[in-house]
Chain A
Amino acid sequence: MKGEIIVETEDLTKKYGQRTAVDHLNIKIEEGEVFGFLGPNGAGKTTTLLMFLGLTEPTSGRAKVIGFDPTREPFKVKEKVGYLPENVGFYDDMDARQNLRYIAKLNRISGEVSEKRIDYWLEMVGLSDESTKKVGTFSKGMRQRLGIAEVLIKEPKLVFLDEPTIGLDPDGTNRMLDLIHSLSREKNITLFLSSHLLDQVQRICDRVGIMINGNLVAIGPIEELAKKKLGLDQQDYTLEEIYMKYFKEA
């Protein structure tokens, strides 16, 4: 299934006044892969995601997501691309099911189909028993899992996850990572994961890109980057070592 390019950018640049948030980004993501987008806070990761969704306009350069230009045809992109923002919010006075139903409606999913999908995804993220509880009472981990279900309701081809495990306890983090992993393997959904939690990224990502101060300083499979940066002979590398090396150079 791999091979088809699902995200492609060409000198994508975003400036906020004088500051360049994203500087001539060139990136290619293939269908079905799990891509880890790394970088310190404020490196321009979220800005890049927003440009991919057409939520903010690039200053210059182009992007192509699932074959469409998000600036010109944001509608087409948003129909098939899910986005889980960092610290996703819900309507706290509605229950989990109502929240999902609302999002399904906004995606023009008809009643019967949407009920089926809601049941399925609530089961998948382990929230079936809590489906009638008000989301206001949910814990951080439950909210994050509900967020995943909400993104998947529209059966996207590609999902952007912005810091999906931040603020979760170790058990919650593990469950979240397993879920993400299975999505990629079983549903063939391309995942684009922005994070700065390196050990987690190393566990699930096929390829990573490292972004520092708006520049993509490295991109490729983790082993390849390890070879390049740490030397051929080293076997028990961690992503953190690679990352720190790039970070110090930049």
Chain B
Amino acid sequence: MYGILTIFRKEMGDHFNSLRFLLISALIVMVGVIITSMVGMAIREELKGMAKPTLIFLLLFTSTGKLFSFVQFIGFFGPLLGIFLGFDSINRERISRTLSKLVSQPIFRDSIINAKFLSGVAIIAIILVATVLLISGLGIRLIGVVPGAEEVSRLVIYVVISLLYISFWLGISILFSVIFRSAATSALASLAIWIFFSFFVSLGASVLSDAVAPVSQTASGVDAEMLMRHERVQRLTSLVSPMTLYSEATTTILDPMRKTTRTLVLMGPLERFSMSRFQSPLPLLESLFIVIPHIISIVAITLLCFGICYFVFMRQEIRTV
């Protein structure tokens, strides 16, 4: 425990002193502020002379405005943040030959990897919380609405999910930094995984669903059953990607109007009627129930990733260290 704390403190110091940390946080803060000001001003224009609708505050985070929403930005940039913080954490010490010195001190070997991972998680948490607070503050000034308890809880859950998700990417990059001796190789390998999950999985999902359940246009319209099957295959395949898990979880948590994580919902006339008559937000607990499987999956892959990383590091022959 003592060893973890000492290494953790040093790693935190290293992060704070590094130009990399400064650049990343500056970028996230800058983009966050720009998006919020644009969205906030648009909301203020629209709300002029109107009673404030409920849960308007969350729109600051989910409304896309002219470019993209803050949530989309974190969904895209978050993995890069994790990768930047971790890709050279172990092999940097190996190249500078400090790792063999470190393991010959009276500390447990796993405190090195634990402390490195935890310090990365702490940095991510600091960046996320700071940015969300900054946006909230700016939003309160811009639209003049103070978030209620439910909005705050939804934001807290959002931050927690994001933290877990970005930690997953941190784990991936630390894993590669254990495996590869060169920092450049490990950075590229992490980026390759990121590109694979963000672009190719969704591409593969649509190809696979077209192959398994082709939707054919007939004279009588589209076969509903086939369409559902097509959709199901596509969804299941794309859920392989942690990005899909994350974006479904966060959009559902931050948008109480969403009643399901599915993008396609088949409705009969009665359902459509009831939807239009009783359009009201879901309570927080219900939203949470919808995304619980997603959250558990994200926790699982994050732990799994760190577990593999831990295992590989502990089993590595010290000679190669």
Q: Which residues of A come within 8 Å of B, CB atoms?
A: 46-47, 50, 53, 55-56, 75, 78-79, 83, 85, 87-93, 102-103, 105-108, 150, 154
- Docked CA distance A90–B92 (Å): 11
B104 touches A55 (CB 8 A): yes
Question: Chain A interface: which of B53-61, B93-101, B118-126, B198-206?
Answer: B93-101
- Contacts between the two chains (Cβ within 8 Å), count: 58
The smallest beta-carbon distance between A178 and chain B, in angstroms, is: 24
| 18 sampled A-B residue pairs with Cβ under 8 A | A50-B318, A53-B104, A55-B100, A56-B318, A75-B108, A78-B104, A83-B104, A85-B100, A85-B101, A89-B96, A90-B98, A102-B6, A103-B101, A103-B105, A106-B105, A106-B106, A107-B105, A108-B2
Determine whether B212 belongs to the interface, using a CB cutoff of 8 Å to chain A: no
- Docked CA distance A238–B98 (Å): 36
**Contact residues in A for B97 (Cβ distance below 8 Å):** 85, 87-89
- Docked CA distance A85–B98 (Å): 10
- Docked CA distance A56–B6 (Å): 24
**Contact residues in A for B7 (Cβ distance below 8 Å):** 106
B103 touches A55 (CB 8 A): yes
Contact with A78, one of B96, B98, B106, B317 (Cβ below 8 angstroms): B106
Determine whether B147 belongs to the interface, using a CB cutoff of 8 Å to chain A: no
Q: Which residues of B come within 8 Å of A, CB atoms?
A: 2-3, 6-7, 10, 17, 93, 96-108, 317-319
**Contact residues in A for B100 (Cβ distance below 8 Å):** 55, 85, 89
The smallest beta-carbon distance between A185 and chain B, in angstroms, is: 25
- Docked CA distance A107–B105 (Å): 7
A50 touches B319 (CB 8 A): yes
**Contact residues in B for A103 (Cβ distance below 8 Å):** 101, 105
B319 touches A106 (CB 8 A): no
- Docked CA distance A78–B104 (Å): 6
Contact with B105, one of A46, A78, A87 (Cβ below 8 angstroms): A78
A56 touches B105 (CB 8 A): no
- Docked CA distance A103–B106 (Å): 10
B319 touches A47 (CB 8 A): yes
A56 touches B104 (CB 8 A): no
